[in-house]
Amino acid sequence: MKTIYQKIVTTHPLKAKAESKAKGVRSGLASALALAFNIATAGQLQKVFYLLLCLLWLAWPGQAALAQSPTDVEAAFAAQPTARVIVVLRPVEAGAAQAGQIARSQESVAQALSPADFSLIQTYQTLPGLVGEVTPAGLEALRRQPEVAAIALDLPVEIADVTPNAGLIGADAVWRDFGLNGAGVRVAVLDTGVDTAHVDLAPSLVSQHCFNRNGGCLPDSSVESDSAQDQNGHGTHVAGIITGRGQTSPPGIAPAAEIVAVRVLGPNGSGFTSDVLAGLDWVVANQSSLNVKVINLSLGGGSYVGVCDGADANTTLYAAAVAAARQAGITIFAAAGNSGQADALMAPACVSGVVAVGNVYDSPLASLGWPTCTDQNIVADQVACSSNSSPELDLLAPGVLIRSTGLGGGEATKSGTSMSTPHAAAAAALLLQANPNLTVAEIETILEETGRPVTDSRNGRVTPRLDALAAVTRVVIGQVTPLSGTVLLQGRTDHSGTGIYLSNTPCASSVTGEPATVTNAAGRFEITPSSGQAFLCLQAVQPAYLIGQKDAPQGELGTLTLPGGDVVQDAVINILDLAFMAIHYRSDNPAADVNADGIVDIFDLTIAASNYNLRGPVANWEGGSP
């Protein structure tokens, strides 16, 4: 598989660096062209011009979609009489008529070819492409079709494991502190299926489907069915990391999330890009009933340097499928791969609109061997040597020796980026439970900005490691309405220093502990609850004043004026207060100086007398939110 840089088809702010790389390629070739004009003789000029123009054409991102097409497909004919190919059709206009235009283009291409040279395998509802088996003559006929934009071998894909850690990413704290568990959020798992009878998964399964153009769908070995029963165990393990109920295996990261299981890989854990595309197409086409918010792809194939949106027909349709999913409000997470490459990802992780996830250890180990390498003296948050990396890698998550649901019941232990990816997908489910209105871009940004920075020793690249607690905290705090208000002090112009006390129990006659905050000179205060909890009592305390109070405070409380004169602090202004002030008359005793002007005088006595026999606490707040 060729691994050249290609144009970003779907704009993605987290990978804009790839676009600048393309500009650099084009700028360099343009400079070469200008230099050639300066040094060439008149007789050489025409040849130099056409040579460099060809180079510029090949490097221009819009032209390289055919990079894999001719040679790779033709090479396949050396071993077999036909080849399974993905065909990208010319783009169609977006909108309500898009599905009809796609269907007409698919039909036009299929009907233009001889059945002896082309056998239609797969069409799509939302993607401008199709899949078929072609002969050499059929390949030539396809190339001549005006609707055809690119042709490539149907890329094999496989599971991304080699053989949950809630604590490292803080998921257990999310459950405990926020009461969030993914309830009401649907995650589509495109994989080998799930064990539909597993006690830890069956309650979460809301829909299932299967695509296997080799005839591997149960129950009757068909190419498509409504059964996603797993025959491998990989998909079962992945689904358990997301939403395992914890009865016979460890709980998932979002144990109350719902699962839409789509089987796109066979019993041996392998399949084709076309089946994965069919699964993505089915989810998006049925989004009105499925209401999927997250897709997990612990699978992939090939090896791509840079953003791969237009590298070949496979990734071109992946990019189209991802764009359609994002438009439908679905965030896609994909495994980076386990071939130990420091500067390349497999597809679809390399697609710009996908959150690509790599693998870290969650605890120390002496050593661990992988098929491609061995890690020694391992510490937590160390990047696994087998985990693929590139500038397009978005997140890291635990993926080594992960215990989760096993095929046939109980639990199993697996490792790889396949296990890292569902940690991130489940964290997205927690975010969406906290705030169902989050956009795809917001989810990506929150997960990446709140992640713990981890450096990959192979390339010095820093990638955020998933921190579910930090991510959820940002979302919850962002939604909490601050508790605010104004407390004025009778007789004063400076209203600062009033202590604001909060309690999770009903208001008592006295306060203890430290205040949550104090008022400023204007009497204002604002408190953001750290965990979105609802308080049962707020009390405003200032010496020489009756206590102010608010039961079950929420939002903006308005303005409360505290009556002055309770200098003995017994919750009533009476003769005892006046007597205490008389004893300290003309002194600077702060306990009797109600208006805090530095002297106990007639003004302080007047304030107290105006409130004679008034009892606290006072709660006549004015102008607050309803």
Distance from C-alpha of 234 to C-alpha of 267, rounded to nearest angstrom: 9
By C-alpha distance, which of 611, 585, 609, 610 is closest to 599? 585
371 phi and psi, to 5 degrees?
A: -60, -30
Residues marked as catalytic: 191, 234, 418
Q: Residue 486 pairs with which residues in a beta bridge? A: 524, 559
Query: What is the distance of C-alpha 380 from the center of its chain?
Result: 22
What is the distance between the alpha carbons of residues 304 and 306, in angstroms, rounded to a whole number? 6
Alpha helices in 367-464 (DSSP H): 417-434, 440-449
H-helix or E-strand spanning residue 180: none
Class of residue 462 by CB neighbours under 10 A (exposed 0-12, middle 13-18, buried 19+): exposed
Written as one letter, the residue type at 576 is L
Q: Reply yes or no: is the peptide bond before residue 219 cis, omega within 30 of 0.
A: yes
Contacts of 327 (CB under 8 A, 6+ apart): none
Angular region, 329: left φ>0, alpha ψ -120 to 50, beta rest: left
Tell me how far apart the alpha carbons of residues 353 and 189 are, in angstroms, rounded to a whole number.
17
One-letter amino acid for residue 572 of the chain: V
**Alpha carbons 139 and 114: distance in angstroms, whole number:** 11
Amino acid at 120: L
Rounded CA gap, 454 and 397, in Å? 10
Tokens representing 155? 């890329």
Query: Which helix H or strand E contains 150, and what residues bound it?
Result: strand 148-153
